[in-house]
Amino acid sequence: MISATVIGNLGRDAELKTIAGGRAVCNFSVASAGRAGNEKVTTWVRCAMWGARGEKVAQYLTKGTRVGVSGTLTTREHDGKTYLELDVHELELLGDRPKAQDEEPRRSPGAGRRPPPRNGHDQDGSGGDDDLPF
């Protein structure tokens, strides 16, 4: 058995199916970007999450959503190509899909405000983070 963890973005909305015997499966593909020398390389992993867990998360797995998945990795050969498939045991939603440049960022209530410093100072003893570039 090969265990693997993949972090990436969904290539399209998840597909929820019920197979023979009434068992549900949620299928989705995760694209993980990396580099091979100077070349950008994208590796696609087809994922399956079975049963009630798959049914519950399917609505949140939309195109572009960043996820971290781990489980059992297998390969499948088809027409001379090798495909990676992951039987998902754990899934973590890591954030929304990337925003278009002209789209307004969504802010949660309280965003941009920082909590009051402890004892009038930040953890490092300074009075604030005004000199930080971000």
Annotate 23-47 with b (16+ C-beta within 10 A) or e (fewer): ebbbbbbbeeeeeeeeeeeeeebeb
- List of domains in the chain: 2-95 (2.40.50.140)
In tens, the pLDDT along 93-111 reads 997 655 555 555 444 444 4
Query: Can you read off the two tokens belonging to residue 124?
Result: 């490092």
In tens, the pLDDT along 68-97 reads 999 999 999 999 999 999 999 999 999 765
pLDDT at residue number 1 = 87
**Greater pLDDT, 65 or 113:** 65
Query: Can you read off the two tokens belonging to residue 18?
Result: 């019920």
Q: CA-to-CA distance for 52 and 55, rounded, in angstroms? A: 5
Q: What angle do CA 70, 75, 77 make, to 5 degrees?
A: 155
* 73 burial via Cβ count (<10 Å: 0-12, 13-18, 19+): middle
Sequence-distant (6+) residues with CB within 8 A of 98 are 9, 64
pLDDT at residue number 134 = 39
* pTM given for the model: 0.68
How high does pLDDT run on average in the chain?
81
In tens, the pLDDT along 35-57 reads 989 999 999 999 999 999 999 99
pLDDT at residue number 104 = 52
